[in-house]
Amino acid sequence: MTDPVMPVPDEIRAAFRRPPGRALMLGHVHPDADVLGTLLALGAALEDAGWLVDYGGPHPVPASLGFLPGSDRYRVLPRIDGRYDLAVLTDCPDPDRTEGLIDGARRSAAAIVNIDHHPDNRRYGTVNWIDPSAAATGELVYALIVALGLPVKPGMATNLFTAIHMDTGSFRYSNVTPQTFRIAAELVAAGAPPAFVSNQVYERRPPEALRQLGEVLSRIQVSEDGRIAWLALPAGLVPDTFIEAEDLVNYPRSIGTTKVAVLLRERPGGPVKVSLRAKGEVNVNRIAAGFGGGGHANAAGCVVQGTLEEATRRILAAVRDTIGR
Amino acid sequence: MTDPVMPVPDEIRAAFRRPPGRALMLGHVHPDADVLGTLLALGAALEDAGWLVDYGGPHPVPASLGFLPGSDRYRVLPRIDGRYDLAVLTDCPDPDRTEGLIDGARRSAAAIVNIDHHPDNRRYGTVNWIDPSAAATGELVYALIVALGLPVKPGMATNLFTAIHMDTGSFRYSNVTPQTFRIAAELVAAGAPPAFVSNQVYERRPPEALRQLGEVLSRIQVSEDGRIAWLALPAGLVPDTFIEAEDLVNYPRSIGTTKVAVLLRERPGGPVKVSLRAKGEVNVNRIAAGFGGGGHANAAGCVVQGTLEEATRRILAAVRDTIGR
């Protein structure tokens, strides 16, 4: 038996080991489960310790994550008012992803705490804890709450379990380690319900979503050599209520010959959102970085201006350049 | 920190704690990952301890599980020859599922060891270890190998991890416990590669499988009240090489209103194979038992004679009777 919890840097512990004050849990654009789950869990732990905590960011909680305990406390913030002792950002590699709220946070808060597992994190905090060996920022925040001696209550456990579940594709990705499973065990023991989380994430489709999924699958294309599979979705084809829009990239990925899978989603009147997935051999983070995006070696994303056709052409050319001909 | 391994009954340990002899690892019809993974892992552990081990059953290893380490040792057995000290059956609730091989095993082996997690196991062994609290028989066999003081090598870990992964739907079902995750952590630490297993299980589709899946999805039907969703597949629609035939039941299950999901697969010239899934409130094991099948409260199966239309009508009537109108 080994200790399930990785060491927490002293300066991170020190940031929270002070008389309770006011904290802002600050999310980035389009917050996902690893962002929201960690902000809500850490905020709830701090509240139990006597802190006053606000939660928010540039975008609201997506409907699909409305089941996260405490998510009703998370607000869309047009700007940051008031004074804080700490502003905490989790799973946010680049402060520009707060749509300017980082500037308000710097003015309003005595210190910025930056906790993340992205290797390209820009270390913009007053204190930074960046650990790319963690499959999810949820692992780090679990370790932090334990290190602070605060109890992990069922709601926090559900938030952190969901964060880890989503960032590992349900414990399937190459980022999963023994530590990931050990922490999942502790979270389930603390009250996180795996079947409830899976039900909320995967089993709330409207009946018509399966017909839409069928239509989407007919659009998957595969390169002649089979190594690139992609799915280009015009605006309006998949409604916003389609819970698993991001997960659609797993279908082109599921083809045996695929080395790189690409999902391109056209936004009405806006740029094309691109999700890239690799199966171990190709670093798609580098491809995404070439378009101003980022992520991990096996899972990255970016935004491309122009039409869906143009974006598809540019991304596929970049993928071909990277994997070689 | 608690002990990750559940206690192993003394009589089960005693069955293996003797001078090495000959063992038969005996699978049932259409062996799945929990059957094969546990037989192959326990057999390999016994071989390391000096036993001579044969592996086999009435049906071959399906192509989709050919990646399981040692699966090339598993043979189709028309009958059982030779003498054994032990015949071991795992994840086999009913000895009739060996297509008569149990009779040969009883004649050939000094003792039958029956290890399973199905609540309706018929306790047909000389020694029986039935623990329905285990999410997979893989959990029990892991505990057994550890209790016998034998090392869990990477191949065994991969077999047991796959067994647990598949019987929990990738750690998503209501059978998942802290113990499930603790054992998964130990298995990954022992060398089981989660991303490799997921890749083998989910990411080896031929490109045409996605088009077929799209067509399949268009056939999903939903009852007027939304509580029953089903998919009736005529023989030949989904080829046998379609890796995830069993998993197709998860699509009707994924609809938010679904209480019971049903997959009916017509076999050419044979009976209709039925998979039933519930979301917590309905016991589908009872429905399957009414047709001579079995399983768990949330996941069960049976075989129904007659045409696909007749089987669909009979099964849906039984489901309606169970969930009430």
Residue-wise pLDDT tens digits, B189-223: 999 999 999 999 988 888 888 888 888 998 999 99
Sign of CA dihedral B137, B143, B148, B153: positive
Question: For residues A282 and A260, what is the distance between their CA atoms, to the nearest angstrom?
Answer: 7
By C-alpha distance, the chain A residue nearest B189 is A178
Half-sphere exposure of B238 (CA within 13 A, CB side): 26
**What is the percent of chain A where pLDDT is above 90?**
82
Instruction: Give the count of beta carbons closer than 10 Å to the beta carbon of residue B207.
Output: 16
Residue B242 pLDDT class (50, 70, 90 cuts): low
Residue A11 reports pLDDT greater than 80 = yes
Distance from CA of B238 to the nearest CA of A (A): 15
**What radius of gyration, in Å, describes the C-alpha atoms of chain B?**
20
In A, which residues are within 8 Å of B259 by CB distance? none
For A36, the token pair is 């929201």
β-pairing, B260-266 vs B272-278, is antiparallel
Question: How are the residues of chain B apportioned to helix, strand and coil, as percentages rounded to the nearest 5?
Answer: 40, 20, 40
Residue A209 pLDDT class (50, 70, 90 cuts): confident
Per-residue pLDDT of A143-163, as tens digits, reads 999 999 999 999 999 999 999
Residue B139 reports pLDDT greater than 70 = yes
Residue A2, pLDDT score: 44
Partner residue opposite B205 with nearest CB, options A177, A198, A254 = A254
In B, which residues are within 8 Å of A4 by CB distance? 1, 185
In A, which residues are within 8 Å of B202 by CB distance? 172, 250, 254
Does B203 contact A258 at a Cβ distance shorter than 8 Å? yes
- B145 contacts: CB under 8 Å, gap ≥ 6: B41, B42, B45, B152, B156
Per-residue pLDDT of B279-314, as tens digits, reads 878 999 999 999 999 988 989 999 999 999 999 999
ipTM of the complex: 0.91
**φ, ψ of residue B251 in degrees (nearest 5):** -70, -55
- Nearest-CA neighbor of A173 among B86, B173, B199? B199
B210: contact with A, CB 8 A cutoff: yes
Stretch among A221-225, B241-245, B273-277 having the lowest mean pLDDT: B241-245
Question: For residues A218 and B217, what is the distance between their CA atoms, to the nearest angstrom?
Answer: 11
Residue B1, pLDDT score: 39
Q: What is the residue-averaged pLDDT of chain A?
A: 93
Decide if A211 contacts B185 (C-beta within 8 A): no
Residue A242, pLDDT score: 52
Q: Which of A205, A241, A247, A260 to mutate to test the interface with B (most CBs of B within 10 A)?
A: A205
Report if pTM > 0.90: yes
Q: Which of B152, B176, B186, B210 to mutate to test the interface with A (most CBs of A within 10 A)?
A: B210
CATH class of the domain defined by B209-323: alpha beta
In A, which residues are within 8 Å of B228 by CB distance? none
Residue B2, pLDDT score: 43
In A, which residues are within 8 Å of B256 by CB distance? 203-206
CATH class of the domain defined by A211-323: alpha beta
Sequence-ordered strand ranges (E) for A22-80: 22-26, 52-57, 74-76
Q: Which of A175, A217, A223, A224 to mutate to test the interface with B (most CBs of B within 10 A)?
A: A217
Residue B240, pLDDT score: 62
**φ, ψ of residue A104 in degrees (nearest 5):** -60, -40
- Any idea where the domains of chain A sit in the sequence? 10-201, 211-323
Sign of CA dihedral A146, A152, A158, A159: negative
Does B173 contact A182 at a Cβ distance shorter than 8 Å? no
By C-alpha distance, the chain B residue nearest A201 is B254
B 165-184 residues with CB below 8 A of A?
Answer: 165, 169-174, 176-182, 184
A 225-284 residues with CB below 8 A of B?
Answer: 226, 229, 250-258, 279-280
**What's B255's DSSP letter?**
B
Does B255 contact A210 at a Cβ distance shorter than 8 Å? yes
Question: For residues B266 and A179, what is the distance between their CA atoms, to the nearest angstrom?
Answer: 43
A1: contact with B, CB 8 A cutoff: yes
Question: For residues B92 and B129, what is the distance between their CA atoms, to the nearest angstrom?
Answer: 11
By C-alpha distance, the chain B residue nearest A208 is B255
CATH class of the domain defined by A10-201: alpha beta
Decide if B59 contacts B29 (C-beta within 8 A): yes
Does B210 contact A172 at a Cβ distance shorter than 8 Å? no
In A, which residues are within 8 Å of B280 by CB distance? 195
